[in-house]
Amino acid sequence: MNRLTKPDLSVTIAGIRMKNPVLTASGTFGYGREYAPYFDLQEIGALVTKGISLKPMAGNPPPRICETPSGMLNAIGLQNVGVEAFLRDKLPYLAELGIPVIVNVLGHSLKEYAEVASRLDGQRGIAALEINISCPNVAQGGLAFGADPRLAARVVSRVRAVTRLPLITKLTPQVSDIGCIARAAEEAGSDALSLINTIPGMAVDIHTRRSRLGRINGGLSGPAIKPVALRLVYQAVQAVSIPVIGLGGIRTAEDALEFLIVGARAVQVGTANFIRPRACLEIIQGLRNFLMSRGINRIENVIGTIRP
Amino acid sequence: MFFQELPLKKIEMMGPEVCRLGFASREIAGKARPGQFLMIKPQAWAEPLLPRPISIHRVQGGMVELLVRVVGEGTRRISSMRPGEILEVKGPLGRGFQVDPQKVPLLVAGGMGAAPLLFLAEKLSRSGARKKNRAPVLFIGGRTKKEILALKEFRQAGLKVLAATEDGSFGERGLVTDRLRDYLEAQSAESALYACGPVGMLKAVAALALKEGLPCQVSLEERMACGMGACLGCAVARKQEEGPGYAKVCQDGPVFEAGEIVWDE
Ligand SMILES: Cc1cc2nc3c(=O)[nH]c(=O)nc-3n(C[C@H](O)[C@H](O)[C@H](O)COP(=O)(O)OP(=O)(O)OC[C@H]3O[C@@H](n4cnc5c(N)ncnc54)[C@H](O)[C@@H]3O)c2cc1C
Ligand SMILES: Cc1cc2nc3c(=O)[nH]c(=O)nc-3n(C[C@H](O)[C@H](O)[C@H](O)COP(=O)(O)O)c2cc1C
Ligand code: FES
């Protein structure tokens, strides 16, 4: 191709066309507006919101974050404004951005997932729902819904029954067989998958002998988790025929390319946004440069090209 | 708010643990208000991963100055930078001090708490807020003389300085809040408190303000990842209509009305 023409970065996932494959990861991009002073949000492929529950949630006591080698632990505790305040105060702004907006949905019971999803159904400005099945299931002593394929499938089918919006199921890495969970979500009606959520971890202050977080456990994110994430994404791609969105530790265009090459059709950027608020933009530009320097005219021609 | 990559203009050690650094940014200098902070990170180092929150210490023309105490790896890396090296800077961030021009400003600094209060002091002296007999007063304290920072600059800004150290090596022996208490008992002028320092000191200042019925603003610290309201990492317990909830130190603060805060958590 002519090295001067701009390559085509667009991808289509679950019927949603995105002008590039770079999305924001839930919980790292607020409700969008926080980043507007730093760059034009219309540049990103799609925006994923903080997880939304039925009622507002106060979250965990501080400290909620601590840095670890090449990563960070967070114990935010799913703090969010609740679905009603989201629709009233946050969605109108997002709906005007002109990019696909994906709302991350969380629940503590099957019923809560379905109630949040049905409240979001039919609202102008929402392109899809991302179901966070890493949440603790209150009825089963806090074990994550996403840890059990049958339970994961039940969450997806309950949500499927109440909305026509495309569904992206977000998987937890804390499972023994990712392919099994991935297939369960696909069979229950999920249109796409995203992975990985944070990896459970902890850190101890040796002077006080307490957790360095307000809770014992936190979720690990950032560059430290990238190799783990990449392998799980690769395995999920092998297991299903629906599109997979890869994330975990992506900081540069090169990181994003690794995920695309193993078969992810798009990527999400999380922790990197905290370090460089224009991280998504820099990754998009880096993808464009990569394609141009190699004379590749479409990002599609990179996806799933891992060699044996 | 800006995200800029700026060459360090100057950096000097102010003792074994504290350094003062400066860079030029007309944008940040133009927008900065006392009490606001920046997220900073040396570009040359991938680790530590996250930027660190540091208060704006001083703004002079287009120059921004920071005062950093080395307490761990992040601040050590910052303090070891050389002029010309690139600092990634995000800000100015947060809600700063809201000054009531009708009241005599009483500034209370504990240790590194002096950093943002110099910016406030210089702003007060520039805006001519000090009329006769209404000059702002600085209460400054630390464990030892070494911890008393920027004294000369505070005096140049026209503040009356009342100091205390725990070992008596400078000012009176004792706590800065002892000096504040003595002062408030003897003084009747309408005043307002602006405090920054360790949480124990802030709590004591808040209690004194409540007792005397004085308005009081405190600058709080919490662990931060983004500094811009996106991660919800920097929670502080705040009284709200619906009962206690969490505010974001980076966005709702770092400066809060002392009465808003749930101190016992
Ligand atoms: C709004 C705000 C303004 C600040 N302004 C300044 C300033 O002007 N000058 C300055 O020197 N520092 C300031 N700080 C504190 C500074 O951000 C921390 O000291 C720094 O992040 C520590 O990083 P580190 O990697 O060196 O230490 P770490 O390795 O992260 O920690 C070392 C030790 O310091 C303690 N610590 C770290 N961060 C904090 C914190 N935020 N509060 C209390 N204890 C902490 C840790 O518990 C640990 O014991 C400010 C903090 C906030 C939130
Ligand atoms: C502070 C923080 C909050 C998060 N909140 C959510 C959330 O509400 N819902 C969710 O599905 N994932 C949440 N995540 C997980 C991220 O979306 C992402 O899966 C994870 O951080 C790995 O990507 P990264 O390494 O690029 O950050 C959160 C992550 C962080 C760091
Ligand atoms: S530090 Fe991220 S919300 Fe305050």
pLDDT tens-digit series, residues A51-105: 999 999 999 999 999 999 999 999 999 999 999 999 999 999 999 999 999 999 9
> What's the fold here for domain A11-59+77-199+220-301?
TIM Barrel (3.20.20)
Out of A3-17, A190-204, A238-252, which region has the weakest mean confidence (pLDDT)? A3-17
Catalytic residue list contains A135: yes
pLDDT for position A137: 72
Over residues A280-289, mean pLDDT: 98
Preceding peptide of B254 cis, ω within 30°: yes
Per the CB < 8 Å rule, is B246 touching A38? no
Whether this model's pTM surpasses 0.90 = yes
Question: Which residues on B lie below 8 Å from A74 (Cβ)?
Answer: 225, 231, 233
Q: Does residue B250 belong to the interface with chain A, where contact is any CB pair within 8 Å?
A: no
Residue by residue, DSSP assigns B118-129 as HHHHHHHHHTT-
pLDDT for position B134: 76
Task: Provide the token pair at A173.
Answer: 């890495």
Q: What is the CA radius of gyration of chain B?
A: 18
- pLDDT classification of B31: cutoffs 50, 70, 90: very high
* pLDDT tens digits, A154-169: 999 999 999 999 999 9
pLDDT for position B132: 58
* A30 alpha carbon, distance to own chain's centre: 13
Could you report the predicted ipTM of this complex, rounded to two decimals? Answer: 0.94
pLDDT of B127 over the 80 cut: no
pLDDT of A5 over the 90 cut: no
- pLDDT classification of B244: cutoffs 50, 70, 90: confident
CATH architecture of B104-219: 3-Layer(aba) Sandwich (3.40)
pLDDT of A4 over the 90 cut: no
Between B88 and B133, the higher pLDDT residue: B88
pLDDT for position A118: 97
- pLDDT classification of A15: cutoffs 50, 70, 90: very high
Distance, CA of B216 to CA of B201 (rounded, Å): 13
What are the residue ranges spanned by the domains of chain B?
Answer: 4-93, 104-219
Domain B4-93 has CATH 1.10.40.50: no
Ligand 3 pocket, residue B93 CB under 6 Å: no
Atom index in ligand 2 nearest the CA of residue A65 equals 1
* pLDDT tens digits, A243-253: 999 999 999 99
- Picking from A63, A70, A79, the nearest residue to B246 by CB comes out as A79
Over residues B41-66, mean pLDDT: 96
Per the CB < 8 Å rule, is B228 touching A277? yes
Alpha helices in A59-216 (DSSP H): 83-85, 91-95, 110-120, 149-162, 178-187
Distance, CA of B175 to CA of A134 (rounded, Å): 49
Rounded to the nearest 10 degrees, what angle do helices A149-162 and A178-187 cross at?
30
- Picking from A27, A34, A275, the nearest residue to B50 by CB comes out as A275
Task: Provide the token pair at B12.
Answer: 């000097």
- pLDDT classification of B197: cutoffs 50, 70, 90: very high
Distance, CA of B106 to CA of B205 (rounded, Å): 11
- pLDDT classification of B213: cutoffs 50, 70, 90: very high
pLDDT for position A142: 67
* pLDDT tens digits, A19-31: 999 999 999 999 9
- Distance between terminal CA atoms of chain A? 27
Out of A70-74, A266-270, B126-130, which region has the weakest mean confidence (pLDDT)? B126-130
Q: CA A247 → CA A49, A58, A65, A193, A221, distances in Å?
A: 15, 27, 20, 11, 10
Q: Does residue A49 belong to the interface with chain B, where contact is any CB pair within 8 Å?
A: no
- Amino acid identity for residue A59 in this structure: G
* pLDDT tens digits, A168-199: 999 999 999 999 999 999 999 999 999 999 99
